[in-house]
Structure 1
């Protein structure tokens, strides 16, 4: 099944904008399929290029308007898959978009290293950027009723929601796919573009983060466990974030002395990847980490929907040195919303220090009975 992606209509609206539309996301998340859908549903004259093709790289390396004119012909929509593989892709795209007034370019990339960095400054004012993630419940729900969504919850907590995983019939098939994805694809961009010398340490670091998902991370302690420096740990985590495997939450503070601000929590964009790294694909009844799975799933889903709805939301966790804590804070337009995640529905009181410091903030407990409203909110797309 091909799932309609949330960002597709917004991309369609820009297909005659004479701009560069950049779509970034990790490998196997559906970027190529999305590009095919764009091609199939437009009446514009299109040209498809694969940035990993050496012949394509050689053609684009000529860097001349005449050469590009011969390549493009009457093309109105240029589609470049894996564009980050093209040397100096930002300068290439800038010359094209500045030279051909009827041209729009859609470029996809599986890492933020070269694609967003190289297209940033050269394309100031000429670039529109979208992130694409593993399937969000916002997208899956279009083919489900509420009962089916709840029936699929355990599967999504254990196996995640990469498009191909969702389409596989058995647990064995899903486990095999996720193992192959981790071993063959996910770290490819880091190893290729950033020339990381010790891939084993990078994988070990990712495994440690998987075991600590939802917990505060000490870079010094991770460095001691791995036998590498704190700065190397920080660099590796930054690289893993740039290929959309993990993301960071920092601590929130309004300059209160008791609030923890320097710590970090790291989460995975997909539970299936996290479980493949441990490795643990056991059913929920056999697991000791349901709380971590639940928290990671909800925060990742919320991050997806906030991105797709183009909301200017800052996300944090909150904790004081005396142990009071809240799983997620969102700050938007000066308003603070607090969320606590519990697998079972039970009464939870807002921490006293938080209530006193932020009396105008809202507080909500998210559990199995109300989680869909949290990850598929009812506010309209902007």
Structure 2
């Protein structure tokens, strides 16, 4: 797939730097992510071009696209091993790049075969998280390194978009960041592409891989979680929804399995709840966010385009792209109700973000039009006892400001387009 927009290549500097940094580290570099998000282009074009700029000859860059029908024979593990061996001609470093490696049975053995060969550096892409399960990681003997690739961030999207920030954001919120979207000229073509991608690639992939016999149940579950991004849910609640809305019963365990399949295929991610004061995780409920909003919107036939929930999903994805672990924050407090009696309540922080020693509390507030709304959005942040930075992101294009409680408020464009936005 060629990701060219008006004769411009979409650069992915964040991921390219990761590949550069982990060269020759003695580990298998596994590039994961949802299908069609640009993994192959990152590896076969951006990284390969960078290697050539460093003086690496094309003969020492071995590229194998296992989705290509012409390479079907190489889906046999022994044939793949023999082919790679045949391409290693001398003692210089060879860069082996295998696209969609999960199509090869026993691929772990093939990749592990090169761990002790000093002049072979191995990179592989895959679109299913299951092949990075604990069993597979054990098979790699702790010698694999995952680089997870998401669809385009808004900064990457805007870098080649022909229009202003607001137009770009409206487009991004509606059609998402799958790279191919930028090659279509009108909304109808974009819509049809996303619907086809959802049905013919992701749904079929999930149903075939996990041998799902009841297609309708999976379809209905995807409808339910697509309709409730940013809302708390759990398997029991979803099972009850089936009974209430669809007048049919489905077990909690089946719902759990289906949710796992959806996440393993990188279509959505689960955000758990974290008690900020008690410093512990809460079992349920939790939230689901879609890896790409365009796919979510296509699933709902571009209905339910609620900007507040969609902006929250975009902020979640941006934080994940930046490498943060992201949870839903819970702040338990005691306050007096309108009758003057004390009551225990749980306030919510949209996102608690952690990366090493870095920690941030972030609220997504599409609009804060009056003092009551400001007070509502700030309440949970004001009740956090620690000194980590607290940020509210609004849809308005405002000047970054900080109040007496140390809470920073910024516009969505600053948050998404400035790499250092969390430090503003």
TM-score bin, normalised by smaller chain: 0.7 to 0.9
- For residue 343 of structure 1, what is the aligned residue in structure 2? 366
Counting only pairs closer than 5 Å after superposition, residues 66-85 of structure 1 correspond to structure 2 as 69-70=85-86, 72-74=88-90, 76-85=94-103
Which of the numbers 78, 84, 108 marks the counterpart of 1:90?
A: 108
TM-score between the two structures when normalised by the length of structure 1: 0.85
Paired residues for 1:1-382 under 5 Å:
1=5, 2-5=9-12, 6-37=14-45, 38-42=47-51, 43-44=56-57, 45-52=60-67, 53-58=71-76, 60-61=77-78, 69-70=85-86, 72-74=88-90, 76-98=94-116, 100-115=117-132, 119-143=136-160, 148-226=164-242, 227-254=249-276, 256=278, 262-280=284-302, 289-304=306-321, 306-307=322-323, 311=324, 313-318=325-330, 322=345, 324-333=347-356, 336-346=359-369, 348-349=374-375, 352=379, 355-368=382-395, 369=397, 370-379=411-420
Q: Which residue of 2 aligns with 1:284?
A: none
| Contact persistence 1:318–1:329 (CA under 8 A) | no
Distance 1:213 1:96 in 2: 43
RMSD between aligned alpha carbons? 3.0
Q: Deviations over 1:259-296 (max 9, x none)?
A: 96621010111111111111225xxxxx6622211211
Larger strand percent: 2
The count of aligned residue pairs is: 366
**Shift in CA distance, 188/357, structure 1 to aligned 2, threshold 3 Å:** same
Measured after TM superposition, the shift of residue 143 of structure 1 is 3.9
Shift of 1:184: 0.5
> In 2, are the aligned partners of 1:61 and 1:87 still within 8 Å (CA)?
no
Give a deviation string over 1:113-154, Cα, whole Å, max 9, x none: 225656512323432210111101232344469x72332111
Call closer, same or farther: CA 1:359–1:178 in 2, change over 3 Å: same
- Which has the higher relative contact order, 1 or 2, with Cα contacts under 8 A spaced 6 or more apart? 1
Q: Identify if the C-alpha distance between structure 1 residues 28 and 102 changes in structure 2 by more than 3 Å, giving closer, same or farther.
A: same
Displacement of 1:335 in angstroms is 6.1
Structure 1: gaps (5+ residues): 282-286
Report the TM-score, using the length of structure 2 for normalisation. 0.77
Q: CA deviation at 1:242?
A: 1.4
For 1:216, what is the secondary structure of its paired residue? Answer: coil
Bigger Rg over Cα:
2
SS at match of 2:129: coil
